[in-house]
Chain A
Amino acid sequence: MKSYETVIGLEVHAELATKTKIFCGCTTQFGGEPNTHCCPVCTGMPGTLPVLNKKVVEFAIAAGLAANCTITQHCKFDRKNYFYPDLPKAYQVSQLYLPICRGGGIEIETGGEKKIVGIHEIHMEEDAGKLVHDPWEDCTLVDYNRCGVPLIEIVSEPDMRSADEVIAYLEKLKLILQYLGVSDCKMQEGSLRADINLSVREVGAKEFGIRTEMKNMNSFKAIARAVEGERKRQIELLEYGKVIVQETRRWDDNKDTSFAMRSKEDAQDYRYFPEPDLVPIEISDEWLEEIKNRQPELRDEKMLRYETEYDIPAYDADIITGSKKLADIFEETVALCGKPKEVSNWLMVETMRLLKEAEMEPENIEFSAANLARLVGLIYDGKINRTVAKEVFEEIFKSDIDPVQYVEKKGLSMVSDEGILRSVIEKIIAANPASVNDYRNGKEKALGFLVGQTMKEMKGKADPGLINRILKDLL
């Protein structure tokens, strides 16, 4: 078999985290009863006119600056025409001729190697509605709640060569958008989705091969598998001397292969033309400067700051800044209770473990920094020991309970009364003469057993340090 190179470019759609839609004052909140986040503008009623949401422009510029793009200071919208009921106007307002950002790049790292993935352009556009088939009436039902939600489409250059690079690029992009606050990037809600353009060519070939497109992929796992699967399929075709057809394919993650979508009779012809209902956008140097100055700290900067300001190891900083949500909770908690390394441990170890068990992403964390801070307070005030703290944390993680009230209600506070502890330990010593003997004969391990027995008697509500001290004292 010849050796082949895979060439991949991505078109990533990110829904912007604005409160309202791109051209009307309807809410962008996810969910809701069908067609309750709609108005005459976003349902395409005749005679309505769009008015551009200023925040959309600022978010698109922020994303472009973070991706090292040049901002198109004189830009405008165009109409992309096609008939499909998810688009009530029969056109999508998008940008073809003068996209707001052009020619940037994002650095990714795979297997210790760094490379730049070029950004061809970023443009603004509106999302479409949702179609549901109704089997009873054999018709289609349309919900326009998502119609008009602002999107940016980030078009990469065909610079990626493997599934690993694709995932690294997407992860980097997701973090940038989340840190900017431009998009929440909740993939399961479809607020970040990717179209994959993939072709293969013999190693050393100058021309690109014929590419296929897989649309609307919204899980990293499925994307990695789709890249692998489509690469294999194309190489197999070439090996058998067949040709690859330029087409849109649908990836079926259950069947682990892609299928050609039924191709329309006519090739797509969107007949783009300038959108006459919206006036051009002029981005002044001052406005651009203002947005530049407002750019928040991105991940790499934050990581360095954590090491210096909070004095936590690079390893911790890397894990915590790997999710905007974790980083936010970390900073908020430390602001309340200090002890950055302690807070970092709760996030890196227990939180990560519970997330994994519940098959959740850090973005879905629901507990508050306030309750984690209270828990850390309880530990440092000597109110609870670590074993109890872990139990309490599980409750915080699950239902964001107030640990102070919880510990009180369940009677989980440590017994710090030395007198009580001393009498329990005396009992334990009397009941375990063999271990006492072992310890006196120099077997250090026996002490651990006695501590354990005491702890058991105290139902875990004692400070192991204190038990140790009293035991040694009595022996």
Chain B
Amino acid sequence: MTITDETIHYVAALAKLELSGEEKEKAKKDLGSILAYMDTMNELDTEHIEPMSHVFPIRNVFREDVVANGPDRDILLSNAPASKDGCFMVPKTVE
């Protein structure tokens, strides 16, 4: 599979990125070499190998169901670009 201009445009749109012509070319090259690496992998026989779902050999990291957080609204909202009435304020998204 090769990376076309359309693919770059599509992926950029999904990620909400605006790329310059130069950046698009670079992304095309980078993504192309990643896919080429995948092609190498595809040459191997992986029939009986379970796909790796995590890099660390750890399983079952859990929390008990106990309330541990109190309200810290002011601190949380201090990270927001804008806030109003105890809410995060964002550009209009609902009709």
Which positions in A face B, CB cutoff 8 Å?
18-20, 24-27, 33-40, 43, 45, 51-55, 57, 76, 81, 83-85, 88, 131-134, 137-144, 266, 269, 271, 274, 276, 278-282
Collect the chain B residues with CB atoms within 8 Å of residue A143's CB. Answer: 86-87
B53 in contact with A52 (CB, 8 Å): no
Specify which of B14, B59, B85, B87 is in contact with A279 (CB 8 Å cutoff): B59
A274 in contact with B54 (CB, 8 Å): yes
- Interface status of B44 (Cβ within 8 A of chain A): no
A279 in contact with B60 (CB, 8 Å): yes
Complex Cα–Cα for A59 and B61 (A): 17
**B26 smallest CB distance to A (angstroms):** 21
Complex Cα–Cα for A271 and B7 (A): 13
Collect the chain B residues with CB atoms within 8 Å of residue A282's CB. Answer: 59-60
Given A19-B65, A274-B53, 4 other A-B contacts at CB below 8 A? A38-B73, A133-B94, A137-B89, A279-B59
Specify which of A52, A83, A138, A274 is in contact with B61 (CB 8 Å cutoff): A52
B65 in contact with A140 (CB, 8 Å): no
B92 in contact with A280 (CB, 8 Å): no
Nearest residue, chain A, Cβ from B93? A140
B58 in contact with A279 (CB, 8 Å): yes
A26 in contact with B63 (CB, 8 Å): no
Collect the chain B residues with CB atoms within 8 Å of residue A37's CB. Answer: 71
- Complex A-B: 19 CB contacts under 8 Å: A18-B65, A20-B66, A24-B69, A25-B66, A35-B86, A39-B72, A43-B88, A51-B63, A53-B63, A53-B64, A57-B62, A76-B54, A139-B82, A140-B89, A140-B93, A142-B87, A143-B87, A274-B54, A282-B59
Collect the chain B residues with CB atoms within 8 Å of residue A266's CB. Answer: 10, 13-14
B64 in contact with A54 (CB, 8 Å): yes
B interface secondary structure, majority = loop
Instruction: Knowing A276-B54, A279-B54 are in contact, say whether A51-B85 is a contact too (CB < 8 A).
Output: no
Complex Cα–Cα for A266 and B69 (A): 39
A20 in contact with B65 (CB, 8 Å): yes
Nearest residue, chain B, Cβ from A36? B71
Collect the chain A residues with CB atoms within 8 Å of residue B60's CB. Answer: 279, 281-282
- Interface status of B48 (Cβ within 8 A of chain A): no
Complex Cα–Cα for A279 and B58 (A): 6
Complex Cα–Cα for A33 and B92 (A): 22
Complex Cα–Cα for A132 and B86 (A): 12
B76 in contact with A52 (CB, 8 Å): no
Collect the chain A residues with CB atoms within 8 Å of residue B55's CB. Answer: 276
Nearest residue, chain A, Cβ from B75? A40
Instruction: Knowing A274-B54, A279-B54 are in contact, say whether A141-B65 is a contact too (CB < 8 A).
Output: no
Specify which of A18, A35, A36, A54 is in contact with B88 (CB 8 Å cutoff): A35
Collect the chain B residues with CB atoms within 8 Å of residue A51's CB. Answer: 61-63
Instruction: Knowing A35-B77, A36-B71, A83-B16 are in contact, say whether A133-B53 is a contact too (CB < 8 A).
Output: no
- Interface status of B79 (Cβ within 8 A of chain A): yes
Which positions in B face A, CB cutoff 8 Å?
10, 13-14, 16, 53-56, 58-69, 71-73, 76-77, 79, 82, 84-95
Complex Cα–Cα for A274 and B51 (A): 11
Nearest residue, chain B, Cβ from A77? B53
A interface secondary structure, majority = loop
A144 in contact with B62 (CB, 8 Å): no
Specify which of A27, A141, A281 is in contact with B87 (CB 8 Å cutoff): A141
**A41 smallest CB distance to B (angstroms):** 8
Collect the chain A residues with CB atoms within 8 Å of residue B87's CB. Answer: 34-35, 132, 141-143
Nearest residue, chain A, Cβ from B90? A85
**A448 smallest CB distance to B (angstroms):** 61
B84 in contact with A141 (CB, 8 Å): yes
Which of A25, A133, A269 has the most chain B CB atoms closer than 10 A to its own CB?
A: A25
Specify which of B16, B69, B79, B94 is in contact with A25 (CB 8 Å cutoff): B69
Complex Cα–Cα for A38 and B68 (A): 11
Nearest residue, chain A, Cβ from B55? A276
Collect the chain B residues with CB atoms within 8 Å of residue A85's CB. Answer: 88, 90, 93
Which of B53, B55, B95 has the most chain A CB atoms closer than 10 A to its own CB?
A: B53
Complex Cα–Cα for A280 and B90 (A): 34
A27 in contact with B89 (CB, 8 Å): no
Specify which of A20, A52, A57, A83 is in contact with B68 (CB 8 Å cutoff): A20
**A445 smallest CB distance to B (angstroms):** 65
Complex Cα–Cα for A139 and B85 (A): 13
Collect the chain A residues with CB atoms within 8 Å of residue B65's CB. Answer: 18-20, 53-55
Specify which of B54, B66, B72, B89 is in contact with A141 (CB 8 Å cutoff): B89
Complex Cα–Cα for A25 and B73 (A): 15
B91 in contact with A38 (CB, 8 Å): no
**B51 smallest CB distance to A (angstroms):** 9
B73 in contact with A52 (CB, 8 Å): no
Instruction: Knowing A266-B13, A282-B60 are in contact, say whether A39-B69 is a contact too (CB < 8 A).
Output: yes
B62 in contact with A52 (CB, 8 Å): yes
Collect the chain A residues with CB atoms within 8 Å of residue B77's CB. Answer: 35
Collect the chain B residues with CB atoms within 8 Å of residue A271's CB. Answer: 14
A54 in contact with B59 (CB, 8 Å): no
Complex Cα–Cα for A253 and B10 (A): 37
Instruction: Knowing A34-B86, A35-B87, A138-B92 are in contact, say whether A26-B61 is a contact too (CB < 8 A).
Output: no
Specify which of A18, A19, A33, A140 is in contact with B86 (CB 8 Å cutoff): A33
